[in-house]
Chains A and B, each alone.
Chain A
Amino acid sequence: SECREWALLELQGVLEIQPSAQHLPLNAFSIGSLCRSQQEKYYFTIGYHELEGKKVSLKKPMLVLQKVLREDPIDVESSPVVLSTQYPTQVQKTSELKAIGIIRHKILFKTRPKALISK
């Protein structure tokens, strides 16, 4: 099964949408600009704040798991008791965790944001 590598940006803080934009769909505008200035050095500009970060390897890789609800038809022949209803097949609901991504590195932003507004 395909499991691509995902990128992880770690921020310390909360992303808030301006009241004037709250009626818009989430992906109508970008969160910010990500710039790679050096091999391991990145800048993330959100609104008028600039965050400086660096790329680090995770000590242990992380899997991105998605909960998937499955409905499988039950093989009526093999069950000792059959519930008689108008539906032709009985289903068995199971939940599965599907691995949809791997994360091996993160870009960690932990320094104090720099305000880009000039007085």
Chain B
Amino acid sequence: MGNASILELNVDSSLEVYYGETFGSEDLKLLEVDEPILQEILDRGASGEELDTKSETGGKRTASAMAAATGHLELVEVAPNFEKLKSLLSERLYGEDTDSMDVEESTSGLYTWDDLLEKLQLSEKELQEGLKSLAAVQVGGFWRLVDKKYMHCVFELILLNAMQHDWSLQGLKEKEVVSALMADGYSAQIVIHCLATYGQRVSLAFEAGIASNGSYDLDSHVWELNERHVCLHYANQLLSSASRWRVDDFVDAWQQNLPSGVQASLDMLKGKILIEKLGSDSWLYPFSVANLPSNPAERFAALFRERPRWEWEDLEPYISDLRAPGKSVDALLLKYTRRTQPTAETPPIFTAR
């Protein structure tokens, strides 16, 4: 009822209630909202089926979706979906061919920050989070995903050069790394993106800053490669060279390939490999959480297809990334698994429900 006089009706008075002039012809829906986001929605309309809130309230809540039920809508929280972002950016991957081209010929399939905001139902913070999680890089104003093989290639070269020139992986000088790779035809932006993806900038090291003539070189950025990424890089090479490995053989080969000073541990491969005992031997094979469905029901189905029974320690890395609105990991376990514990001393086992 659009008439304010019902609200203003005084005690001991009455009024007649009528159907409005436009009653029945308007397409109206009622939506229950939380007070905090009410004001935001009032300031803007919403298009289509999704409401987009630009700010975040309380950490995890992000985009919202509406479910219609005979005119009454409920605001339901959904976890942000980066699948669409990933597929847009995958239209034109930045790879081997791109780097050697100076100018992109056409801009179709290339997206700027503004393009992405417009096409996706994500807030600015979420878009930032999504780009970061996909390790996207901005080149020439467009956000790009770099071909994985290409990234590994560049990383491998950086590591090779480091070993050749005896550079410390904790103190790589950006200038040196970039010029070495540019000599092989790689662009500076991609090299720096690689350093940023697999490591982090460290504060200016004293030795790096002072040139031989004593002057302070302010342009000298220094990078430290993340040990885990270095280990994973070599682990991935071994895993793609054979479908399964005897664990001991794998650990030996792995350690041998690593630059000196870097220590590998099987723990680093949680969520990427599974270990199976066959007789007296332990064998490992690739099984990556990144290749599994992100929807909880489908994820658990895939996990139980792989193995009917899981110990918590093995299961945890394959479900810790699951996001379902308002559902904790325990709630998901309760919904999709059956937990048994034969004795108090043995660890609990999870099977399909």
Chain A residues with Cβ below 8 Å from B4 are 4-5, 7
Q: Are A36 and B47 in contact (CB under 8 A)?
A: no
Q: Mark B3-41, 1 if CB is under 8 A from A, else 0.
A: 110110111111111111101101111111111001001
Number of contacting residues on B, CB 8 A?
41
CB distance from B39 to the nearest CB of A (A): 10
Q: Are A33 and B17 in contact (CB under 8 A)?
A: yes
B31-86 CB contacts (< 8 Å) to partner A: 31-35, 38, 41-43, 45-48, 73
Q: Mark A83-97, 1 if CB is under 8 A from B, else 0.
A: 000000000001111
Q: Are B26 and A39 in contact (CB under 8 A)?
A: no
Query: Taking A1-B42, A66-B26, A94-B47 as contacts, is the C-beta distance between A27 and B19 under 8 angstroms?
Result: yes
CB distance from B345 to the nearest CB of A (A): 48
B183 within 8 A of A: no
Q: Mark A32-62, 1 if CB is under 8 A from B, else 0.
A: 1111111100001000000000000000111
Query: Taking A1-B42, A6-B2, A99-B45 as contacts, is the C-beta distance between A64 and B11 under 8 angstroms?
Result: no
A110 within 8 A of B: no
A13-38 CB contacts (< 8 Å) to partner B: 26-27, 29-38
How many interface residues does chain A have, given as a range? Answer: 35 or more
Chain B residues with Cβ below 8 Å from A108 are none
Q: Are A64 and B28 in contact (CB under 8 A)?
A: yes
Q: Mark B223-264, 1 if CB is under 8 A from A, else 0.
A: 000000000000000000000000000000000000000000
A113 within 8 A of B: no
Query: Which residue from chain B places its CB closest to the CB of A107 in the assembled complex?
Result: B6
A76 within 8 A of B: no
Query: Taking A8-B1, A27-B20, A60-B35 as contacts, is the C-beta distance between A34 and B47 under 8 angstroms?
Result: no
Query: Taking A27-B19, A63-B38 as contacts, is the C-beta distance between A98 and B32 under 8 angstroms?
Result: no
B133 within 8 A of A: no
Query: Which residue from chain A places its CB closest to the CB of B21 in the assembled complex?
Result: A27
Q: Are A36 and B42 in contact (CB under 8 A)?
A: no
CB distance from B70 to the nearest CB of A (A): 14
- In the assembled complex, the Cα of A65 lies from the Cα of B30 at a distance in Å of 6
Once A and B bind, how many residue pairs between them come within 8 Å at the CB atom? 117
Q: Are B46 and A96 in contact (CB under 8 A)?
A: yes
Chain B residues with Cβ below 8 Å from A33 are 14-17
Chain B residues with Cβ below 8 Å from A99 are 41-42, 45
Query: Taking A63-B41, A65-B28 as contacts, is the C-beta distance between A39 and B11 under 8 angstroms?
Result: yes
Query: Taking A4-B2, A27-B20, A99-B42 as contacts, is the C-beta distance between A36 and B14 under 8 angstroms?
Result: yes
Chain B residues with Cβ below 8 Å from A97 are 29, 45-47
- In the assembled complex, the Cα of A54 lies from the Cα of B187 at a distance in Å of 72
Q: Are A101 and B2 in contact (CB under 8 A)?
A: yes
Q: Are B30 and A103 in contact (CB under 8 A)?
A: yes
Chain A residues with Cβ below 8 Å from B42 are 1, 3, 63, 99, 102
Chain A residues with Cβ below 8 Å from B20 are 27
Q: Are A64 and B18 in contact (CB under 8 A)?
A: no
Q: Are A64 and B12 in contact (CB under 8 A)?
A: no
Q: Are A60 and B2 in contact (CB under 8 A)?
A: no
Binding site for B on A (CB under 8 A): 1, 3-9, 26-27, 29-39, 44, 60-68, 80, 94-103, 105, 107
Q: 7 shortest A-B CB distances, which residue pairs? A: A35-B14, A7-B6, A30-B16, A67-B27, A26-B19, A63-B31, A27-B19
